[in-house]
Amino acid sequence: MKLLKKQISAKDGSGTVLLRPDTSEDLWHAYNLLQVGDCVRCTTVRKVTKESSTGSTQSNKKRMMLTVTVEKVDFDADVLQVRLSGTVQAESDFVRMGAYHTLTLELNQNFSVEKQCWDQVYLDLIDEACHPDRQAEVAAIVMQSGLAHVCLVTGALTVTKARIETNIPKKRTGSSNHAKATTKFYEAVYQAVLRHVDFQKVKCVILASPGFVKDDFYKYMQEQAMRREDKVLLEHKSKFVLCRASSGHKHALEEVFADPTILSQMTETKVAKEVQVLNTFMRLMSTDPDRAYYGYHHVAQAHEQLAIDSLLVTDELFRNSNVATRKKYVALVESVREHGGKVYVFSSMHVSGQQLQQVSGVAAILRYPLPDLDELEEQANDPFLPSSIHMESDEDEEEYDPEKRIQEDMRDMGL
């Protein structure tokens, strides 16, 4: 992503940025930037109908620049497209003001976004998207007999670049159909790796399968690379890491990333850091539950006591259509950072983000145990307890006075 222009007011945070997406991952970042109510301006194609003096009509498509107030945003994960629809804000020769139009953000096409408030989460997202080192970090090939998925795992996306499926018959005595089908399957995976994996950018290539499928394919790939003199594979064969997976489906990456051997090969990648902190949280849930809490209410109460060491949150929470809910999570993230905590924003397009989403989408690893957090929550919700021990009481609230409380109760009862 290239940041071409940035005009944001230091007073109220309103302003406009001009961006240009260069990769498919940039479109995912653009999707996370857009909210209902934003004004987006870019070039688009619209069907225009003209009526002549004789009453005949003629329709043709014209490319024009339109500004649309966003009412709906969609991200198509299959074709990696961002579509946003809304009303046109500026009238032109071909489109009246207030007409509905759908914009499609395209690669290498400039677009501007105007917001009433660019909060810190939005600004961090732009910085991450425009970071020059952010590219495909890991390639993964999960396979089983007759099925394989070639994926690219970046800092924000797990993209399926190829799905290879071949019908492989069972082994039969005196028949070579099984061997021929297996060779055909391996060749298709081999070509997909050459076509979709940029070995200059990826830091490692994970090859995972149940049984010995991965070993047989790796042996086939080495033999073919030597025979065909494919220098790309020969020079980067040290980047391949073989490990076990339960199947050749994409969801098998979840257990692959949980393998400590794999994480050691991916120590410098953003994905590995997120997976590692999520594994730590899951482990603490069973071994030391007083240091691992999830759900906004528990996490917010832990932060009130400045106990959060690491905050885990999914980007889906920042796409909430309710402005108040989104501001609540943005304020939590900013406050945790101000008090020295680490914040990890998980992509919902990663298996790690999907795991975190299953436990409410927000979780925290604490610096020290808080065994009484559940008790404090019960006290905060109990209307018969004095207000001075409520977790959400104002700082300037009067301290609890037992004698005064008795007098108030007697007055309420008419005594």
Q: What is the pLDDT of residues 95-140, one digit of tens each?
A: 888 889 999 998 888 999 999 889 888 888 888 788 755 555 788 9
**DSSP per position, 38-74:** -EEEEEEEEEEEEE-TTS-EEEEEEEEEEEEEEEEEE
- The answer to whether 342 touches 309, Cβ cutoff 8 Å, is yes
Give yes or no for residue 94 having a pLDDT over 90.
Answer: no
Number of H helices, E strands in the chain: 13, 16
Q: Per-residue pLDDT tens for 14-57?
A: 999 999 988 777 888 888 889 888 999 998 888 877 776 676 77
* Contact between 253 and 140 (Cβ < 8 Å): yes
Which comes out higher in pLDDT, residue 340 or 347?
340
What's the rounded Cα separation, in Å, for the pair 314 and 348?
6
* Share above pLDDT 70 across residues of the chain, in percent, rounded to a whole number: 85
Domains and CATH numbers, the chain: 2-130 (2.30.30.870), 138-170+178-266 (3.30.420.60), 270-377 (3.30.1330.30)
Buried b (16+ CB within 10 A) or exposed e, 124-158: ebbebbbeeebbbbbbbbbbbbbbbbbbbbbbbbb
**pTM of the predicted structure, to 2 decimals:** 0.64
3-state secondary structure of 407: helix
| Mean pLDDT along residues 150-172 | 84
- Cα 305 vs. chain centroid, distance in angstroms? 29
> Quick one: DSSP state of residue 408?
H
Q: Which of 101, 103, 111 is nearest to 26 (CA)?
A: 111
Q: Name the pLDDT band for 321 (thresholds 50, 70, 90).
A: confident
- The larger pLDDT score, comparing residue 215 to residue 254, is at 215
Question: Looking at residues 385-398, what average pLDDT do you find?
Answer: 42
* 3-class secondary structure, 382: coil
Backbone angles phi, psi at 234, to 5 degrees: -65, -40
Asked if pLDDT for residue 406 goes beyond 60, the answer is no
Which pLDDT band holds residue 398 (cuts at 50, 70, 90)?
Answer: very low
